[in-house]
Structure 1
Amino acid sequence: MIYEGKAITVKEIEGGIAQLNFDLQGESVNKFNRLTIEELGAAAEALKSQKNLKGLVVTSSKDSFIVGADITEFTELFAGSEEDLVANNLKANEVFNAIEDLPFPTVTAINGIALGGGFEMCLATDYRVMAPKAKVGLPEVKLGIFPGFGGTVRLSRLVGVDNAIEWISGGTENRADAALKVGAVDAVVEADKLVEAAVAIINQCNEGKLDNEARREEKKGKIKLNAMESMMAFEISKAFVAGKAGKNYPAPVEAIKVMQKHAGMTRDKAIEVEAKGFAKMAKTNVAACLVGLFLNDQALKKKASAWEKEAADVKLAAVLGAGIMGGGVAYQSALKGTPIIMKDINQDGIALGLKEAKKLLSKRVDKGKMDAGKMADVLNSITPTLNYGDFKNVDLVVEAVVENPKVKDAVLRETEEMVRDDAILTSNTSTISIDLLAKNLKRPENFCGMHFFNPVHMMPLVEVIRGSKTSDRAIATTVAYAKAMGKTPIVVNDCPGFLVNRVLFPYFGGFAGLLRDGADFQKVDKVMEKFGWPMGPAYLLDVVGMDTAKHADEVMAEGFPDRMKSDFKSGVEVMFENNRYGQKNDKGFYKYELDRKGKQKKVVDEEVYKLLEPVVQGKNDFSDEDIIARMMIPLCLETVRCLEDGIVEDPADADMGLIFGIGFPPFRGGALRYIDDMGVDKFVELADKFADLGPLYQPTEKLREMAKTGKKFFG
C-alpha cells in the first residue's frame, strides 16, 4: 500500500501503475471535505516519492465518483474574509496541481456522477474515461458561486472557451456522449472496463503513442485565441448570459469575466485570478441564500426519507375527479411508476383528464424524452372509470373534486365505504381545514391533506397536511407516495390555507390595499418582478383565477378574521363581478391573446382602470421601496406566525415551502431568511412604519422579543 487514509487509498495494481481510490468512510458518497483534500495532498506526496511508477488511475468505490464539495462546510468557510477564502482556495489548488504535476501519465475512471470539485479532480489528470451512465459538470453557479478548484482554468483550455462558458455559466450536468463530443473526456466505455481502458491509455503514453505531456501543457498554458477572437468570444457570451441569468444571479457572468481575465495567463497565475473571483462571489448574499436553500433542501429530503421507513406500500393509487387537476395527478403518478385509477362522475370529466395526460406525454415525446411505446405504457397505467369497481385494491386515494366542503365531505364519505380499512384517503384541498373534512369519516386516522400545486407536472411542492386525528402511518405513506411521484413533500399542521395559501393571501391583501390607495397594478407587477418574483401579484391572480382567489380569500377571512377580513371592496371582487376570471376566460387584470406559438400572452386592457375607479381612492405614485414593503411585510409576518403556531416544524420547512410553492425568489432564500438578512430589528422597525394599515402589518410579540435579543431564524 502506497498510502492509506479514511477517504483515499493508493496501491500499485499492475506493471508499475498505481490506483488512487476515493472511498470516504462512513458516507454513502464521496465528497471533497477538509479530510479528503488533506488526504489527496498526502497521497500526491506519497506518489511523487515513489520510484519506478509508470502511471496513475484515479477511481471511486462508490456508485458515484465524487458528488462535489461538502456544502455543509460552506457556511463556516464563507463566513471568513475574502482574503481567507482566497488563501483557502489556493491551498486546495496546490493539491490539485500536485496531482496534475505527477511525473507520469494520469487517467481518471469516471464511474458515476462527477460534479463540481469531483469533476475538477477529473480535469487535473491528463485523460478521462467515462461510463455511459455517468454525468459530469460544474454546477456551482446554482449556489451563487463558480468553480474554485481550477475548473474555470482547466476546462476553458481543454474544451474551448465557448463550451466552457456554456458548461460553467449554465451549471449543466452532462451525459457521456456530450462530454465526449466536446473533448471533456477521451473515451466512453462500460463501467466494468473503465480501469482496463485507463491502463491502456497509460501504456500508450509510455509507448509514445499518446503525448500526455503535450496534453498537460495545453491545460496549464494560455488559451489559444488571439486578442480579437478572445474579445468576441467573451463579450458576446457575457451579454447573452447576463440576459438569461438576470442581475439577481451574478455568478454566471462573473465566471465569464474571470475566464476572460485569466485567458492570457498560465495555470498558477490563472488560478489566483479564479480564487479571487470565487471569494468575491462566496461573500455575496446570493451565495449565502442559495447555499442555505441547498442545505434546507437536504434537510427536507432527510425528513422525507425518515417518513419513508414508516410508510405502507402504494402499489395502486386512485384520483377522484378527473379534469385538469385530476389528469395532472394521474399523469404524474403513472409517469413515475405508480399505476392509478382516475374516477369521475361523468364521461366528459374522464375525457378531459385523459386529454391532459395525453397532452403532457405528447410533449415529452416531441422533446425526445420518451418514445411512443413508453407513452403507451404510461397511458395504460391510468385506468379511467365511472364507478368504484377496483377500489378494494387501492392503497391511497387523492380526492381532487371541486373546492367545496359539502361536495368533498360527500365524496370522501362515499369513498371510505369503497376502500379497504387500511387504505389512505387524502384530499387535494388548497384551503379547507382537514379536521373539518375528517369530521364525518369513520377512520379519520387514515385521512390527511395532499395539496398539489397547479400545474401538477411542473410544481415541485406537495403539502402533506396532518389533521388532529391523522396517524403517523397516513402521513408516512402520503409522504412516500409524493416522493415516488417526484415531488418534494413538506408536512404541515392543519389550519385554513395550511402554509402556502395562508402566507400567500396576506401578500394578496397587501396588493389589495395598494390598489385601494391608488397604486397602478402594472407598476406593482413590474416592481415585484424586479424584486425577483416570477410574476407580479395582478398577473399571478390572473393565473390563479379570480373565482378561485375569491373563494380562497373568503375561507382565509373566516379563518383569520382579525387580519384577513377586509373592510373594503377589493380589485379581485371587481374582476370577479365583471366575469374577468383571468387566463381561464382570457380577461382579468390583463387581457390574454395567443402568440405565434399558441401560448397566452398578457396585454394591457385600459377598461380595467375604469372598472377599478369606484374602489380606488385617487392616484398615488408609490415608491418602489414602499410597494415592496407593503407587499412583503404581510407575507413575512404570516410566515412568522405559521412558525410560531407550529404549522411548520422549522424555518427551513417554511422557506422551502414558499420557494417551491409560490416561487418566492430563490436568491433571497425565503421569507424568514429575508427577515434575517434585513435584520430582525430592522424588519420590525419597517413593519411599525406601516402599522396603521392594520393587523397584517403588526409584528408578533415573539418577533419583537427576537429583535430585542438579536436572535435570528437561521444560524
Structure 2
Amino acid sequence: MTDIFSWSQDAGGIVTVTMDDPAQSANTMTDRFVEQLPRLLDRLEAARDGIAGVIVTSAKETFFAGGDLGLMMRTTEDDRPAVRAMLDGVKAALRRLELLGRPVVAAINGAALGGGYEIALACHHRVALDSRAVKVGLPEVTLGLLPGGGGTTRAVRMFGLQVALERILLSGRQFGAAEALEQGLVDELATGREAMLAAARRWIAANPDARQPWDRPGYRLPGGTPSSPALWATLPTLPALLRKKAQGAPNEAAQSLLSAAVEGAQVDFDNAQVIESRYCADLICGQVSANIIQAMFFDLQAIKRGASRPAGYPPHTAGKVVVLGAGMMGAGIAYVSAKAGLDVVLKDVSVEAAARGKSYSERLLDKAVAAGRTTPEQRTAVLARITPTADIADARGADLVIEAVFEDPALKKRVIAEVLPHLAGDAVVASNTSTLPITDLAGSVRDPGGFIGLHFFSPVDRMQLLEIVVGEKTSDQTLAKAVDIARQIGKTPIVVNDSRGFFTSRVILEFVNEAIALVGDGVPAASVEQAATQAGYPVGALALVDELTLTLARTIREQTRAGYRASGVETPVHPGWAVLDRMVDEFGRRGRSSGAGFYEYQDGRKAGLWPGLRDAFGGRNTGIPLVDMRERMLFAEALDAVRCLDSGVLRSVADANVGSILGIGFPVWTGGVLQYVNQYEGGPAGFVARARELAGRYGERFTPPPSLVARAQAGELFR
C-alpha cells in the first residue's frame, strides 16, 4: 500500500494495519508519515463496506515513537503557518480514522509516547502487551511542547479536564503497562503478540458499532466544563500552581498546555483541535523547545549510546564492587550498585558504621515496597547483595572499587592502597572525589592506567548523572569500562578530563560565588534568591550553598588556590569570597548542617533568610536590575564552561549541556550551559556584547574569553 503502512485482511474482514517505516529504527511522525497517513484513510474509507474492523499495530520494537524532533529543531518563527497546517493535516486523518464507522483497536506492542499515544487515542480501544517495554503517555511538556496531534483534545474529553491536566498532560508522565491499565490509558493487557491481536479481534467482534465517547449522543465532559460549579474550586488554582512550580522561570509549554486544554474544553471537538494546533505550532517554532530538545533528547541520547566511549574495547560488566566509606555517598553508591545486580562490599572503619550505611538501602527499599514499585522478594534480593564489613579481606576478587571517603587526599590514598592487594588483577579503581585531581590520587596505585574518577551526585539514588574523570594516565580501556559501568548501574555518563573541580563542581561554584557577591553588593538576599529561581535554577543559590555548607565551599576554594599557586598560577580574588569568610569567621554561620547559614533553621528545616544579613551587608541596594542579577549567575557559569572547553576539561558540547542540567541544575529551558550561549539573543555575538556590558558594570570576571570572541566573529555556534 505504502512503504510505512502494510495492510492485511483476514477471513472475518478485520484489517490489520502495521506501521513499519523502512527508513528508521522507530516509527515517527516524519514528512513521509504525514503524507502517507491520509492515503491509508482513503483506502480504509473506500473498502469500508467490506471491513469488519481495523487493528493498528507496529512491526518495530516500539509502537510509535512520536513526533520528528529533528524536523521540529529546524523550524523557525516563519514556519508557523506550515507547522500549523501539518498538525491540522495529521489531526484530520486521525479524525477520519475514529469516524470510519468501524471499530478500530490499537494493539500497542511497545512504547507509545507522544504522537504514538495520540494515534492510540484516536482508536476506539487500546490493548497493550503486558511488558516492561510498554510505556504510554503524553510527555511533550518535558520537551517544551504540548500534544499537538489531537492528544490534548482527546485526553481532556476522555479523562476530564482536571484529571487530564494534573495526571497526564502537565506531569508528562510515562506509564508502564500495569499502571496504564489502572489509570485507564489502555483498556486491556495481553501476554504475547498473538494474544494481543486475538484480544483486539474479540473486542471488534463484540463492538461492531464502536464510537468515541465524545461522538455519542448526550456526551458530557467528565468532571464538567470550565464553567461547571464542580470545577470552580480547583480550576482557577492551576495557573497559580504552575507559577509557583516554575518560580517565575520560563514555563511556556505548561502555560500553553493549560490554555489549550481549558479553551478547547469550552468549544466543540473540531474547534478544540484548531486551538490545540495554534498553541502547539507556537511552541514548536519557538527557541525554548529547540533548546530542550537538543539537550534532553539529542545530546542525552548520544551520551547514553556511548558517544564518549573509546572504540575497540569489548563490552564490560562489573560483578563485584567494593565501596570504601559508608557515609551518605557510599551508602547511595552501594544501593544503586546492588539494585543493578552487583555484589557489593560496603567497607567502613567498623561493622556498625558499615551497617548504618546498608540501612540506607533498607529504608529506600521499604518505601519502594510500600509504594508498590518493588516486591518484598526483590527487596530481600537487593539487600542480600550488600555486605557491610570492616574487614578489607572481604574485597577479595572484586573487579571494581569506588572510594567514597572524606575529601582528604591523604586519607583517600591510604584507603585505596589498603584495598589494592585484594582486588582482581584488571580491576577498575575509582575515586568519588568531587574536586581533587585524579592524576594526583592515582599516585597511590601501581597502575595509574586503571585509575579513574567516578563523581556521583547526591542523592545517588535520584541523581541521574555520573561525571567520569580521566586522569593523565588513565587508559582508554579503563575509560571504556567506566562508561559501561555507568550504564550498567543506570547512570548517564559524561566524560571530562582531569582538573581541580573538573567541570560540574568548578562551574557550580561560579554560580554560588556570584550570588554571594550580590549579597556583598548590598542586594536584599530575598531578591538574590528570587533572581536565581526566575532564571530557572531549581533552588535559590544561597539555599544551595547552605546545603553544600559554607565551610566546604571555602575549603574547596582554598585547596584550589593552593593547587594553582603550587603550579605558579595565582587565581583572581572573587568578590563573593569576603562575604563567605565573614559569614563563617565573624558570624559562625556554616550552613544547614550546623543550623545556621544564609538561612535560619528550626529542627533542620528552613525558617527564612537570616535577618542579620541586612545589618551585615546592607541589603538595601535596589539599583541592580533583576535581569542583571539573573544574568550574572547564568553568565558566570556559561563563561567558565567556555574556559573548561578551551582548556580541554570538557571533551564535548553535549557533555557540557547535559552535565550542567542533570548535575548542577543549570536551567533546563536554556538547553544547557553552552546552548545558553548559542540561543542568547543575537547568538554568540549577542552573548559576547552582553558579557562585555556585565564586565564593565561588575568586574573583569565577565570578560569573554578570546576563543568565544573569535567564535562570535566567525558566526559559529557550539556544536
TM-score over 0.5 for the alignment? yes
What's the % identity of the aligned pairs?
31
Match of residue 66 from structure 1: 64
State the AA in 1 paired with 2:705.
Answer: T
State the AA in 2 paired with 1:503.
Answer: V
Name the CA shift for 1:643/1:310 in 2 (closer, same or farther; >3 Å): farther
Compare 456-465 and 213-222 and name the one that shifted more: 213-222
Match of residue 21 from structure 1: 18
Write the distance in 2 (CA, Å) between the matches of 1:710 and 1:172.
39
After the TM superposition, which residues 266-665 of structure 1 pair with which residues of structure 2 at under 5 Å, given as runs? 266-293=268-295, 294-303=297-306, 310-559=314-563, 561-566=569-574, 570-577=578-585, 578-594=587-603, 600-608=605-613, 612=616, 621-665=623-667
Write the distance in 2 (CA, Å) between the matches of 1:100 and 1:174.
24
Write the distance in 1 (CA, Å) between the matches of 2:261 and 2:91.
17
Compare 187-196 and 312-321 and name the one that shifted more: 187-196
Write the distance in 1 (CA, Å) between the matches of 2:344 and 2:447.
22
State the AA in 2 paired with 1:585.
Answer: S
Write the distance in 2 (CA, Å) between the matches of 1:338 and 1:26.
38
Please tell me whether the aligned partners of residues 140 and 171 of structure 1 are also in contact (alpha carbons under 8 angstroms): yes
* Per-residue deviation, 1:245: 4.9
Please tell me whether the aligned partners of residues 170 and 252 of structure 1 are also in contact (alpha carbons under 8 angstroms): no
Residues 109-142 of structure 1, C-alpha deviation per residue, up to 9 Å, x if partnerless?
1222211110111112222222333332111111
Write the distance in 2 (CA, Å) between the matches of 1:433 and 1:543.
23
Say which SS state the counterpart of residue 278 (structure 1) adopts.
helix
Residues 503-538 of structure 1, C-alpha deviation per residue, up to 9 Å, x if partnerless?
122233323433333333332122212221122222
Name the CA shift for 1:297/1:439 in 2 (closer, same or farther; >3 Å): same
Residues 389-438 of structure 1, C-alpha deviation per residue, up to 9 Å, x if partnerless?
23232111101111111222222233223322200100111111111112
* Per-residue deviation, 1:620: 6.8
State the AA in 1 paired with 2:34.
Answer: I
* Per-residue deviation, 1:553: 1.1
Residues 627-678 of structure 1, C-alpha deviation per residue, up to 9 Å, x if partnerless?
2233333221110111122222222210111111111111122221222222
Name the CA shift for 1:634/1:215 in 2 (closer, same or farther; >3 Å): closer
Say which SS state the counterpart of residue 96 (structure 2) adopts.
helix
Say which SS state the counterpart of residue 393 (structure 2) adopts.
coil
Write the distance in 1 (CA, Å) between the matches of 2:308 and 2:319.
18
Matched, 1:171 2:164: no
Write the distance in 2 (CA, Å) between the matches of 1:227 and 1:709.
52
Measured on the aligned residues, the alpha-carbon RMSD in Å equals: 2.8
Residues 6-63 of structure 1, C-alpha deviation per residue, up to 9 Å, x if partnerless?
x321111331111101223354433222223333333222333335222111112233
Please tell me whether the aligned partners of residues 158 and 183 of structure 1 are also in contact (alpha carbons under 8 angstroms): no
State the AA in 2 paired with 1:573.
Answer: D
Match of residue 712 from structure 2: 707
Write the distance in 2 (CA, Å) between the matches of 1:220 and 1:501.
60
Say which SS state the counterpart of residue 118 (structure 1) adopts.
helix
Say which SS state the counterpart of residue 303 (structure 1) adopts.
coil
Name the CA shift for 1:637/1:26 in 2 (closer, same or farther; >3 Å): same
Name the CA shift for 1:228/1:642 in 2 (closer, same or farther; >3 Å): same
Q: 4+ runs of 1 displaced by more than 6 Å?
A: 219-222
Say which SS state the counterpart of residue 468 (structure 2) adopts.
strand
Write the distance in 2 (CA, Å) between the matches of 1:472 and 1:186.
50
Say which SS state the counterpart of residue 392 (structure 2) adopts.
coil
- Number of residues of Structure 1 aligned to a counterpart in Structure 2: 700
Say which SS state the counterpart of residue 170 (structure 1) adopts.
coil
Match of residue 200 from structure 1: 202
Say which SS state the counterpart of residue 129 (structure 1) adopts.
strand
Match of residue 155 from structure 1: 155
State the AA in 2 paired with 1:439.
Answer: G
Name the CA shift for 1:317/1:28 in 2 (closer, same or farther; >3 Å): farther
State the AA in 1 paired with 2:19.
Answer: F
Name the CA shift for 1:79/1:482 in 2 (closer, same or farther; >3 Å): farther
| TM-score, L = length of structure 2 | 0.90
Match of residue 675 from structure 2: 673
Please tell me whether the aligned partners of residues 28 and 67 of structure 2 are also in contact (alpha carbons under 8 angstroms): yes
Please tell me whether the aligned partners of residues 155 and 184 of structure 1 are also in contact (alpha carbons under 8 angstroms): no
State the AA in 1 paired with 2:228.
Answer: E
State the AA in 2 paired with 1:159.
Answer: F
Structure 2, unaligned stretches of length 5 or more? none
Match of residue 95 from structure 2: 97
Say which SS state the counterpart of residue 671 (structure 1) adopts.
coil
| TM-score, L = length of structure 1 | 0.91
Residues 249-300 of structure 1, C-alpha deviation per residue, up to 9 Å, x if partnerless?
2322322322332334444333222111111222333222221222221121
Write the distance in 1 (CA, Å) between the matches of 2:336 and 2:607.
29
Say which SS state the counterpart of residue 429 (structure 1) adopts.
coil
Name the CA shift for 1:523/1:259 in 2 (closer, same or farther; >3 Å): closer
* Per-residue deviation, 1:366: 3.7
Match of residue 106 from structure 1: 104
Say which SS state the counterpart of residue 345 (structure 1) adopts.
coil
* Per-residue deviation, 1:695: 4.6
Name the CA shift for 1:32/1:222 in 2 (closer, same or farther; >3 Å): farther
State the AA in 2 paired with 1:527.
Answer: A
State the AA in 2 paired with 1:704.
Answer: V
Say which SS state the counterpart of residue 553 (structure 1) adopts.
helix
Structure 1, unaligned stretches of length 5 or more? none
Please tell me whether the aligned partners of residues 109 and 194 of structure 1 are also in contact (alpha carbons under 8 angstroms): yes
Match of residue 56 from structure 1: 54
Say which SS state the counterpart of residue 393 (structure 1) adopts.
coil
State the AA in 1 paired with 2:633.
Answer: M
* Per-residue deviation, 1:495: 0.9
